[in-house]
Amino acid sequence: MARERIGIMGGSFNPVHERHIEMARGALEELKLDRILFMPTGNPPHKHDELADAEHRYEMTRLAVLDKPGLFTSRLELEREGVIYTVDTLTLLRKQHPNADLFFLIGEDTMADLLNWRKPDKVFTLCTFAVCCRSTSEPRTNPVYRQLVLRGAHLVFLTLPPDNVSSTEIRVSLAAGKEPEHLPPQVMEYIRIMGLYHVPQSPVGADQLYPKLRQALSEKRLVHSLLVADTARKLALRYHEDPERAELAGLLHDCAKCMPLTVQQAIAQKQRLLLDKEIVQSENLLHGYVGAAVAEESYGVTDPNVLAAIRCHTTGKVGMLPLDMILFLADKIEPSRRSYPALEEVRRLAEENLIDAMRYSLLSTLDYVRKQNRTPHPTTQRVVDWLNRLQNK
Ligand SMILES: [Fe+2]
Ligand SMILES: [Fe+2]
């Protein structure tokens, strides 16, 4: 059996950014690795202020990679106490993966420092170093390279584009109230929820809701919810609606989606929700109505506008308010949405006019359902008619 090839990317990931992901993807391809483990460092004995807690750095990294094939997060360094040396981490990894070749990704500056690591000769027997070069100069001409090879180190070089993003710059920019470009949007949303790096917490109290939501949703659904929250917030700012409300609605809109249909139906019955048979029997439709009840009951949401937006996010309703439309659309257009024929047009329209975007989105749903020889829910047509009347006024 061919040996597995595993890449290891250590770092504080404070916070993880798109450049880290690009580097990992580049290495995955160039070195033909089977997978790469992102391994955030634990909390050092003397943690400085700018370093977010290890659990937060781990969670941000996890959120950034979990929809990327071949990329994984490891808790190995998190779960050990005290000062952690790479030699110990590699020894443990070797034990866990006896039939794998390990490739440790490092920057060129780290290469110069390798001989100062703890037990370098042992380290050299455990892995190959994959050096990501920042400069354009030939790294093999570096005198350190010869020294390392003579000591038995195995090194390969990766031709990656120059590294022009740094976590430090991202933190500075976050603290200045900006939204850095190279931060994955789900990570940005997590930073807001937890109020990390001097970013004001939004929605207030969301850090208390997050662990519960994380448990209730599948990984994919969790990332989707963070992306809907971020998209809804942006739309709210665009249309002068309350961004925090939109964000909260986005975060919780699918809180019932991963429950089995029978559980959703039981909640609908217990809450005496007045719903027609079609909604009650459809997983796709029911979770909005039940989600509003769950958001109120289990997540303590009291804002009726937020609850109303969650309630109608699956079917829409006659008399939707801007916040309802914002959530409805954010759900349809968030950046991880798999492409569907109307997607780009709905995205474009959402930037221009909520009503046009709603109408286009609903019409495309009607079209799609009819093409599948199914009958659309009557609400969809009713909402389209209502939007037409609104526009003709
Ligand atoms: Fe949904
Ligand atoms: Fe959704």
Residue-averaged pLDDT of the chain:
92
Q: What's the CA-to-centroid distance between 311 and ligand 1, angstroms?
A: 10
Residue 53 makes CB contacts below 8 A (sequence gap 6+) with 43, 47
Residues 266-284: pLDDT tens digits? 999 998 888 888 888 888 8
- Catalogue all structural domains in the chain, each as residue range(s) with its CATH number: 4-158 (3.40.50.620), 202-392 (1.10.3210.10)
Q: What's the CA-to-centroid distance between 240 and ligand 1, angstroms?
A: 24
Residues 127-156: pLDDT tens digits? 999 988 766 667 788 888 888 999 999 999
Q: What's the CA-to-centroid distance between 222 and ligand 2, angstroms?
A: 10
Residues 338-374: pLDDT tens digits? 888 899 999 999 999 999 999 999 999 999 888 988 8
H helices then E strands: how many in the chain?
Answer: 19, 6
Q: What's the CA-to-centroid distance between 331 and ligand 2, angstroms?
A: 5
Q: How confident is the model at residue 159 (pLDDT cuts 50, 70, 90)?
A: confident
Residues 190-225: pLDDT tens digits? 999 999 999 999 999 999 999 999 999 999 999 999
pLDDT of 49 > 80? The answer is no
Query: In whole angstroms, what is the distance from residue 94 CA to residue 80 CA?
Result: 16
Q: Is the separation of the CB atoms in 126 and 6 below 8 Å?
A: no
pLDDT of 167 > 80? The answer is yes
Q: Is the separation of the CB atoms in 210 and 252 below 8 Å?
A: no
What pLDDT shows up at residue 134? 67
Q: What's the CA-to-centroid distance between 354 and ligand 2, angstroms?
A: 18
Q: Is the separation of the CB atoms in 33 and 164 below 8 Å?
A: no
Q: What's the CA-to-centroid distance between 331 and ligand 1, angstroms?
A: 7
Sign of the dihedral defined by the CA atoms of residues 304, 314, 375, 357, in that order: positive
pLDDT of 27 > 70? The answer is yes
Q: What's the CA-to-centroid distance between 329 and ligand 1, angstroms?
A: 11
